[in-house]
Amino acid sequence: MDTEDIDETNLHETLGREWQIEVASIKPYATCRSTHSAMDAVLDVRARGTISAETVTGLTVHTSALIADMCGNPTPVLSSRSS
């Protein structure tokens, strides 16, 4: 695309009036957003003090096929896109 074809009108239309920070969210974990509820659940259980990391030998998280494909793919390139 040639830069002469770019219409900058939309870039300046709401400048100083609309702020994207008002609609943005902060990801508390450096993972795909769809995995955050499972992470919150694990942290909640740990905070209750009924289990410790030393006693856990595994963890199974059930999710939809869409999320599993989007966030659970072990391919480094695809995984990096979800983080």
pLDDT digits (tens, 9 = 90+) for 32-45: 788 888 889 988 98
Using the predicted structure, report yes or no on whether residue 79 has a pLDDT greater than 60: no
Q: Is the pLDDT of residue 58 over 60?
A: yes
The two structure tokens encoding residue 7? 């219409």
Give yes or no for residue 10 having a pLDDT over 90: no
Taking the CB of residue 22, how many other CB atoms lie within 10 A of it?
6
Hey, which of 19-23, 66-70, 73-77 has the most confident mean pLDDT?
A: 19-23
pLDDT of res. 40: 92
Decide if 79 contacts 73 (C-beta within 8 A).
Answer: yes
